[in-house]
Chains A and B, each alone.
Chain A
């Protein structure tokens, strides 16, 4: 299918290093011409909105970094697709990509209706199925958006309306967590709500929703699988093999009528299963090393790969032989400090059985990226390939300020090599996307977990730093840095409003706010 550039015509697309799309506000009126642009520091990215913005508006510029990724898929020519929940994008990486690389293409923009993507699957024809939902996002309503295959030579920012949108009350989508598609283009969703109600699960323990190929609009699923007999308990992952067998990673188990997160399971259903169907096989028990399993995928031999917490190892990827049933031990476990596994939010396997694990910022490493482990990997092995795509350098932004020239200053509470913090300065007009002009970091700076920033007209940067601990915010003082030696504002222009606020990060509020 044909995607178009995001601003309507390619001539309006501005591209800067790191692949940023910056589109002038189409509806900016004259009254807003001298009013300020609104900048917000989000966890890993900056968003900006034109003056006069109101309602559910897209930001002026779209970040192409991998940012809070939740879904991973691989197409027939080896490109990798990542669903980025923070930036409402799907970033597409070249087959064989390695290192800190920009995406080949970015699917994103108002036409795509990505809001925000929480999972992704491709069918055998490379049609793209995106699950849109993030439980912590403001007023997010779940939806499945479907797009046609990406052209083999697709590059740049791509915007298009989806071919189909499955959303609405009849769909039964409530808290969808994972998506898969079979050879016949039926769509499978693991939803954390619905199904039986038990203690600690007032919205139900979850179910599998199945939509017929070609579904569009507010349509009911063609089948659902849920119930005590089915063994579905907080389903976090779903996969389908070439025969249509359905594999579900269940994050929890039931102890009587109570949820327990001390163990999980993989349940496998015959094609066409529905209702409270008993699974054809269940991988569960102490020997399986399944604790809160989440992502699940299959290789061409139907071996089963599951991300899980493993006792004495930590977060890991377990491999189970095809046909496993009962208290089956994994054939292999990839886990340990050398693996670089963060929080494996999604898995994929290629035709050579190389294993792709999507690191999500949810995990202890707070890093986004894709790790690739060669076929046959087991134990505490380093990945053969690590793909990151972070050009802003932001990991945990904690404040924002903009000077008169439009340069953007963003402290990162854990930035810098020592993790004690940094301040990145982005060019005017960049909207905080792409690489910074400069980064202040290092022991001489005295930065210590910077939690807020302010500028004064002389160009000095005031940073509120935390000297006791990240958790309390009670002890803080101001450290100052001199920025550029001089600045100039063209004569005849009106000096824009100066941001003079210093704000604290997070909701721990015993901060002693400071005004320069």
Chain B
């Protein structure tokens, strides 16, 4: 199974151009990537959702645990990341995307490990997928890591909870400072 890759295209191309670089291979540690960002120095940050596995007890597939891998500017081929943010202290479940600010702080949109696929409960009325959260506490939807974070580090801030009105989130971005 192809764990995924990151393709880089030269500016100004449209349609189906050939990438100028592809980061792929066993050394990259890329595993089902869901998002990519580039900081001002050209470092490449990849959100990896992690391996897909079958949970017999829940009759469904899930991803995770995920991580964030970081590559030197201009990386291509089977490049080894210069850092990987992963481990239980990070609170990363299944990352959906990420972005980086001008100081190199990393903002990760984060999802709990959930079941994906056939529900154990068939329903004639619900056409939407029923998702069953399993095991442990839900993870915060937004994690902020300090610039240069590496290894099993705790986020410097998390945003999550019922007051946040975060639901069904799909992407994260940064904008100008709040007035």
Q: Is A208 on the interface with B (CB-CB < 8 A)? A: no
Give the number of residue pairs across the A-B interface with Cβ within 8 Å: 287
| Interface magnitude class on chain A | 35 or more
Given contacts A24-B178, A362-B126, whether A509 and B165 have CB atoms under 8 Å apart is: no
Given contacts A40-B142, A292-B124, whether A478 and B9 have CB atoms under 8 Å apart is: yes
- Give CA–CA (A42, B169) in the complex, Å: 4
Q: Is A387 on the interface with B (CB-CB < 8 A)? A: no
A50 in complex: contacting residue of B114, B122, B178, CB < 8 Å: B178
- B168 proximity list for chain A (CB < 8 A): 42-44, 68, 86
B174 in complex: contacting residue of A38, A136, A504, A513, CB < 8 Å: A38
- Give CA–CA (A56, B163) in the complex, Å: 6
Contact of B178 with A37 in the complex, beta carbons under 8 Å:
yes
* Residue in chain B with minimal CB distance to A402: B175
- A87 proximity list for chain B (CB < 8 A): 165
B41 to chain A, nearest CB (A): 12
- B11 proximity list for chain A (CB < 8 A): 456, 516
Q: Is A496 on the interface with B (CB-CB < 8 A)? A: yes
Contact of B177 with A54 in the complex, beta carbons under 8 Å:
no
B177 in complex: contacting residue of A36, A400, A514, CB < 8 Å: A36
Given contacts A44-B168, A501-B97, A513-B33, whether A115 and B163 have CB atoms under 8 Å apart is: yes
Q: Is B91 on the interface with A (CB-CB < 8 A)? A: no
A353 to chain B, nearest CB (A): 25
Given contacts A25-B178, A36-B101, whether A402 and B9 have CB atoms under 8 Å apart is: no
B157 in complex: contacting residue of A53, A363, A400, A404, CB < 8 Å: A53
* Residue in chain B with minimal CB distance to A132: B162
Contact of A499 with B174 in the complex, beta carbons under 8 Å:
yes
B95 to chain A, nearest CB (A): 9
Partner-contacting stretch, out of A57-65, A239-247, A278-286: A57-65
Q: Per-residue CB proximity of B136-156 to A under 8 Å, as 1/0?
A: 011011100000000000000
Contact of B171 with A43 in the complex, beta carbons under 8 Å:
no
Given contacts A39-B172, A43-B170, A513-B46, whether A139 and B9 have CB atoms under 8 Å apart is: no
Q: Is A500 on the interface with B (CB-CB < 8 A)? A: yes
* Residue in chain B with minimal CB distance to A481: B14
List the interface of chain B (C-beta within 8 A of A): 2, 4-9, 11, 13-16, 32-38, 44, 46-47, 49, 52, 63, 94, 96-103, 107, 109, 111-112, 114, 116, 120-128, 131, 133, 137-138, 140-142, 157-179
